[in-house]
Structure 1
Amino acid sequence: MAPAVVPRRRRRWPLWTALALVLTLVACGVPGVLLLGLVGDAVGRPAAGREDDPATAAARRLGARMTAQLDRQAAALLAGDRPGFLAVAEPAARPALTRRYAALRALRVTVWRPEADGVPTTVDGRPGEWRLAVTVGYCFVVPDCTASTVAMGTRWRMVGEEPRLVAVEESRATPVGVRPWEVSELAVTAGKRALVATTPALRAKLPGLLAQAEAAATVADRYAVTGTPPDRYVIFYAGQAEWQRWYGGGRAKWTAGYAVGVGGGHYEVVLNAQSVTPSGLDDLLRHELTHAASLPGRGYSDRSNWWLVEGLAEYVGVDGQPADRYEGLAEVRRLVRGGWDGRLDSLAPADDAADDRVGGAYGVGYLAVRHLVDRYGEQRMLDFFRAVVHEHRSLDDAADQVFGDPWSALHDDCVDYLRAIVGGS
């Protein structure tokens, strides 16, 4: 599975179901029946060629009633009907749901499509409660997008003949983790190409962030290697607490921002407000939005190609400045002179790497990509990127196909070039 998160370093310069279920039915007229080994598809229908026994049929009927409630809630959300959105829930659940409703409406939600994953199960330690796993497809701003997805648990209690929502659990699927709109109040602003969200405490930052995000989006659009840029760039600006919680937190200590795959071919970008300075924000935005534009929908999984993925994003981030004015040259020099084995495929830094090691690795990736651009032009470099990162071609095959030159020689040329730039031996 490809990694969902693509981090960007913190700079010290200006920025730095078949489901097997055990279900005790205590409602719907089938008390005390134990059902083992229930197998069905993602929406809880029986497997082909099998008929439901009474207990299973009762569970499915209960699940259908829960999903009908979720469908009503979805319709209310899209219609801007907050009372209707809250009406399916017990009073204790309503404060959290009110916050979620407000965040989703602020994000201009246009699609909200819940689907049950299996059938309801009882909740350990919570007599009378049921849990239904749900996957929601959602879109922001654009009504006809390929939906992103989030998996979450919903908990229910029967009130008379009606299932009532008790809680919506945070999504904990790795490696993406909890979305900001699940757990935080959000202030949001939207432009033609970008949607920027932060916490109410940082609301004053939004106008400037949006202007810079719109400018960065115009640049990043040119590096959509499939030819189709994202419908919108979604950017979350995280305060200290949110940085530790949104999308699971726990990023490498050197990370100033990252792009995270959220399904449907979409990436969302998170920036660390504690690390961003006004003078460094533009290049960070160009860098991260380039990931959102250039990466395949499933991300990439080969750490040996880290230099190419990050090198392209860094190349776009510096926005055409001469190579000899790159801010990280001193770090590249220290890496080149300090034990690097000279192989591009060994550049990816560890999560606990020192800042100099990280900065040098990003710089080497940048200079290698810069050399390929200088020699072959941007379009052929992007064709090479697509062959390697999207089509999973070997570097040898991709170089032969796109450049007409052997990769072994090109690799050495890239390394010689960067050594010449920094004066390394």
Structure 2
Amino acid sequence: MGMPTAVPVPMAAVSSPWGPPGPPVVAPARRRRRWALWTVLALVLLLVACGLPGVLLLRGAAGRPAAGRADDPATLAARRLGQRMSDQLDRQATALLGGDRAGFLAVAEPAARPTLTRRYAALRALRVTVWRPAADGLPSAVDGRPGEWRLSVRIGYCFVVPACTPSRVELGTQWRLVGEEPRLVAVEESRSESAGARPWEVSDLAVAVGRRAVVATTPAQRGRLPWLLARAEAAAPVADRYAVTGTPPDRYLVFYAGRTEWERWYGGGRPKWTAGYAVGVGGGHHDVVLNALSVSHGGVDDLLRHELTHVASLPGGGYSDPSDWWLVEGLAEYAGADGKPVDRYEGLAEVRDVVRGGWNGRLGSLVPADDAADGRVGGSYGIGYLAVRHLVDRYGEQRVLDFFRAVVHERRSLRDAADDVFGESWSTLHDDCVAYVRAVAG
């Protein structure tokens, strides 16, 4: 599928929730710099002599004191400064939720206000309902910038729904003291997060809100929002059926990315054949991103059903075993097909090419390489679809969802899950699925 100006992308090649580019989900431990006690005390004395609180400790010296021991003076000063920064962030959160732009900007120095103004507008357009900042550690000195400090902040946030389990993002903030008041100098992008920078961090956004979906894009593409929202609203009830835990998402959040945004939002760097993807953002939530250069009017419905099904079916932390790729993508392709007869599945030609082109007959070996040809990608997705379709035809949707939950959510082996859910050996079922794929491919 693809617009006339874009390289065609197979309809099946739409997402990759396993193995997103960037660092692993578990963030590396932060470095801790240990200062000798005499150095710390010298810094405190120097700061006091200059009329400034002694807060030039790096986070490594800001841990909890040993039982029965009080904080040293520098750590106490850092805690006090950190609390004042947290108070400023709380004031900003109250202003954001109350629609008070002036109050949101009031905690910041003038140089930071253009970026914060854009972020405020994007968050309000997304109908932010929860914004809970919390300091992660104590302030630390900014190298080479005397009098400036950095504070890492974790934020829980919700859009549209007030009572959602918040998504999470960790941001670096930079501060300068003006008298005794800390003033926000800059807010860094969440580049260290596995999900990368959220669209509302880095872009102006136009947003449309429906009953089950929220769609957003840049102002330049605002005119496509009514069409996109209508398609997302139509796809949502289909995806709801594949909520493996039994509870559909409260809202589906879809971002429509132009060329620049595709390379920037959530870290960019997706395989060249990707037309869309779902990315975990914490709290059990996944955001969906569509590549505007690869989305056509004729293909958007299948694409949205596919991606929204990932949101409904995947565990909050995604999945990590590439041997399960066929099952994850096969279920999404099954939902994308939305009950069409097998002979109307758009990827059958690519399936035939892969089957006849030396495929080894193992479902666990289907993950396409980042630089795979479009036909290879489409055939891999199609084989996953046919395998899931065969299991559904044989056992019904609910038992397949139970199987999916056991394998992807509970991380049980295919063998154990097949025994418990289907009462069959996985080796037999695997061979049956492969035989079905080969029969359909002809």
Q: Is the 8 A contact 2:59 2:137 kept in 1?
A: no
The 3 A distance-change label for structure 1 pair 82 and 47 is: farther
- Unaligned ranges ≥5, structure 1: 1-8
2:421 match: 402
Query: What does 1:39-118 align with in structure 2 at a 5 Å threshold?
Result: 39-40=62-63, 46=65, 49-118=68-137
2:204 match: 185
1:294 to 307, 310, 313: 313
1:38 match: 61
1:194 match: 213
The 3 A distance-change label for structure 1 pair 291 and 46 is: farther
SS in 2 for 1:308: helix
Q: CA deviation at 1:272?
A: 0.3
| 2:39 matches 1:20 | no
What CA distance in whole angstroms lies between the structure 2 residues aligned with 1:347 and 1:10? 21
1:246 match: 265
Aligned length: 411
What CA distance in whole angstroms lies between the structure 1 residues aligned with 2:114 and 2:222? 22
Q: Is the 8 A contact 1:19 1:118 kept in 2?
A: no
Post-superposition CA distance 1:112-163 (Å, at most 9, x none): 0000011011111222211000010000011111110000100000011100
1:149 to 168, 183, 186: 168
Query: What does 1:20-419 align with in structure 2 at a 5 Å threshold?
Result: 20-21=32-33, 26=47, 29-30=52-53, 37-40=60-63, 46=65, 49-419=68-438
* Aligned AA (2:220): A
Q: CA deviation at 1:31?
A: 5.0
Q: CA deviation at 1:356?
A: 1.1
Q: CA deviation at 1:247?
A: 0.3
1:4 match: none
What CA distance in whole angstroms lies between the structure 2 residues aligned with 1:33 and 1:202? 46
Q: CA deviation at 1:21?
A: 4.5
The 3 A distance-change label for structure 1 pair 188 and 182 is: same
SS in 2 for 1:134: strand
Q: Is the 8 A contact 1:259 1:267 kept in 2?
A: yes
Q: CA deviation at 1:99?
A: 0.2
* Aligned AA (2:335): V
Q: CA deviation at 1:361?
A: 0.4
Q: CA RMSD in A?
A: 2.0
Name whichever of 361-370 and 126-135 sits farther off: 126-135
What CA distance in whole angstroms lies between the structure 2 residues aligned with 1:33 and 1:276? 51
2:22 match: none
What CA distance in whole angstroms lies between the structure 1 residues aligned with 2:155 and 2:388? 38
- Unaligned ranges ≥5, structure 2: 1-6, 15-28, 36-42
SS in 2 for 1:97: helix
Post-superposition CA distance 1:261-314 (Å, at most 9, x none): 000000000000010000000000000000000001111110000000000000
Q: Identity percentage over the alignment?
A: 74
| 2:15 matches 1:11 | no
The 3 A distance-change label for structure 1 pair 234 and 95 is: same
Q: CA deviation at 1:96?
A: 0.5
What CA distance in whole angstroms lies between the structure 2 residues aligned with 1:170 and 1:387? 36
What CA distance in whole angstroms lies between the structure 1 residues aligned with 2:57 and 2:183? 23
SS in 2 for 1:255: coil
SS in 2 for 1:170: coil
SS in 1 for 2:171: strand
Task: Name whichever structure is richer in strand by fraction.
Answer: 1
Q: CA deviation at 1:174?
A: 3.7
What CA distance in whole angstroms lies between the structure 2 residues aligned with 1:77 and 1:135? 16
What CA distance in whole angstroms lies between the structure 1 residues aligned with 2:213 and 2:58? 49
2:23 match: none
Q: Is the 8 A contact 2:11 2:378 kept in 1?
A: no
What CA distance in whole angstroms lies between the structure 2 residues aligned with 1:101 and 1:30? 31
Q: Is the 8 A contact 2:330 2:384 kept in 1?
A: yes
- Report the TM-score, using the length of structure 2 for normalisation: 0.89
2:26 match: none
What CA distance in whole angstroms lies between the structure 1 residues aligned with 2:317 and 2:112? 34
* Aligned AA (2:395): Y
What CA distance in whole angstroms lies between the structure 2 residues aligned with 1:236 and 1:193? 15
The 3 A distance-change label for structure 1 pair 212 and 34 is: closer
Q: Is the 8 A contact 2:323 2:364 kept in 1?
A: yes
What CA distance in whole angstroms lies between the structure 2 residues aligned with 1:243 and 1:10? 16
- Report the TM-score, using the length of structure 1 for normalisation: 0.93
Q: CA deviation at 1:19?
A: 7.1
What CA distance in whole angstroms lies between the structure 2 residues aligned with 1:50 and 1:212? 61
